Amino acid sequence: MSGRAQAVERFLDEAGWAGAGLSLLAGDASGRRYLRLDLGGRSAVLMDSAPPAADVPPFLRVAGLLRATGLSAPDILAADPAAGLVLMEDFGDDVFAALLDRGAVPEPLFALAVDTLAELHRRFDAARDTAGLPVYDAARFLDQVMLFADVWLPEALGHDAAQRERPGLERAWREVLSGVPPLPASLLHRDFFACNLMLLPGRPGVAACGLLDFQDAGIGPVCYDLVSLLEDARRDVPPDLAEAMTARYLRAFPDLDPTGFRHAMAVVGAVRHARIAAVFVRLWSRAGKPGYLDHLPRVWRQIEASLRHPALAPVRAWFDLHLPPGLRAPLFAPR
């Protein structure tokens, strides 16, 4: 038995789950894995994040914050942050993504997700509950989006872009980010999309939306998670549905300026998509996970759509000069 297997066995024994049957539920881009436990008709989920497991303490903290707002984050049954192990409530198998793949009508699921976001943004007190959480502001967004210059550009251009192309791209992004209208801040899930949402039919209202994979949460503009949901890197969301859900969110907050909100959505979306394109290439080139490249054409369609917004004009001009269409993702092939 490996050392990791022994650590898991000790943890489960101390938590009262010794002898439970284990079955793999999923792994993810980070290397975490999730296993379902079954013991005498009881079930639970084990999150196994190998040390140093820096994601476990924020996961535990954010789970508590979400539950305090009345939303459905899993109950924590046992945890050993130093070992990277968390035993949590089992939400079942009704992941939104799986339901959609099986032909579920999309609108009720997306409406539930949007209403869940709206409830979170109404009830979360950003002034009181921000201690220890990262703040997703213009500086952080700039740092994130420049991953594109560091990872994507060398692959696309065949040379290190640090001296020639990167400075101009950074200036363009600084200009764009400085012009984003201010929005209210709230708890930002950061990966709020169909793969991380669960349908919990026995629960009323927005409690029927189970939330997962929120260890990277922080404090940031309220548009961010809506963009994550409606501009999903892993699945196409029909434009009419995305527009209807944006309007649904805005109806929940009539004091928000719709024009400023959509401006912020376009910029945040472009930042997110460019960063994701770089992350997917890095997962292929450094982690040996080529499956993520399958999503790149969709991500680039999303980048292109974002760049058409007038607010992105400086970044669009940089792309037109330094990364014309022939060097963009639909034509990307691993070397």
pLDDT tens profile 151-200: 988 888 888 887 889 999 999 999 999 999 999 999 999 999 999 999 99
The predicted-structure confidence for 30-41, as pLDDT tens digits, reads as follows 678 999 999 999
What is the C-alpha separation between 200 and 189, in angstroms, rounded? 19
Q: The domain 96-331: what is its CATH number?
A: 3.90.1200.10
The dihedral of CA 6, 10, 11, 16: what is its sign?
positive
* Tokens 């004009």 belong to residue: 313
pTM of the model: 0.93
Break the chain into its structural domains and give their ranges: 3-88, 96-331
> Under CATH, what is the fold of the domain 3-88?
Phosphorylase Kinase; domain 1 (3.30.200)
Q: Which two tokens stand for residue 132?
A: 């220890």
Position 146 confidence tier, pLDDT thresholds 50, 70, 90: very high
What pairing do the DSSP bridges indicate for beta strands 33-39 and 42-48? antiparallel
What is the C-alpha separation between 76 and 86, in angstroms, rounded? 7
The predicted-structure confidence for 47-73, as pLDDT tens digits, reads as follows 999 888 888 999 999 999 999 999 999
What is the C-alpha separation between 170 and 166, in angstroms, rounded? 6
